[in-house]
Structure 1
């Protein structure tokens, strides 16, 4: 569009309006692309975390019967206790458990 404007006479008001519309569309598309790339990165981090968790489980010699601190630390991000207990896992999963 800029090239066309430089080669032939155009109504500058129409040109400016169209140019600004295109610039805004470009900015919106760029914002959407950035959001998608951020989401992809988050998904990659989650996948890596899950892979690490699975590897640790596979390397266990026996079935878990007791509390395993290393496994707990590698999977749980935080636990919030209010009216119920909410477990926040490092992969983004959240599990809420009612207290009886």
Structure 2
């Protein structure tokens, strides 16, 4: 029952919610800058890998002070690992954006298809629209919808 009340309150703002969701989806779908950062990180990793490979080959071909070699090799490995961490973080950020975009797109489709009056609990609607529900000790409930809207139920 509380979900129905919260949803009815939420649904009064349907047009605004639909417009806001579409704007969020449009914003999330533009990964151009993120893609450029991923590409740059990849190029930098490849450059460090090439320098490391050359450094190893040079050590195999000519006699060198091994302590100096080890220090430079260690520095190159650290540089590569740092770049790899940045690259992985950027890829995860991109995947999270796309996942959020897909979730909001499903949310938008679901909200668009809901009838004006909801008279019974709909489990599919619940799963497609509710991010979380916070229940307090005094039985007050806060419903957080996927678009971020919070409504007390």
- Relative to the length of structure 2, the TM-score reads 0.49
Q: Which range moves more in the overlay, 64-73 or 14-23?
A: 64-73
Q: Which residue of 1 aligns with 2:100?
A: 46
Q: Which residue of 2 aligns with 1:57?
A: 111
> Gaps spanning 5+ residues in structure 2: where?
1-54
Q: 1:17: Cα distance to partner?
A: 0.3
Any runs of at least 4 consecutive aligned residues in structure 1 with deviations exceeding 6 A, and if so which? none
Structure with the larger RCO, 1 or 2 (CA within 8 Å, 6+ apart): 2
State which of 74, 78, 88 in structure 1 corresponds to 2:128. 74
Number of residues of Structure 1 aligned to a counterpart in Structure 2 = 95
Q: Which range moves more in the overlay, 15-24 or 39-48?
A: 39-48
- Distance across 1 between alignment mates of 2:79 and 2:143: 41
Higher helix fraction (1 or 2): 2
Higher strand fraction (1 or 2): 1
- Relative to the length of structure 1, the TM-score reads 0.69
The CA deviation string for residues 13-45 of structure 1, in whole angstroms up to 9 with x for no partner, is 111001001111111111222222222222211
SS where residue 10 of structure 1 aligns?
A: coil
- Contact 2:130–2:145 (Cα < 8 Å) also in 1: yes
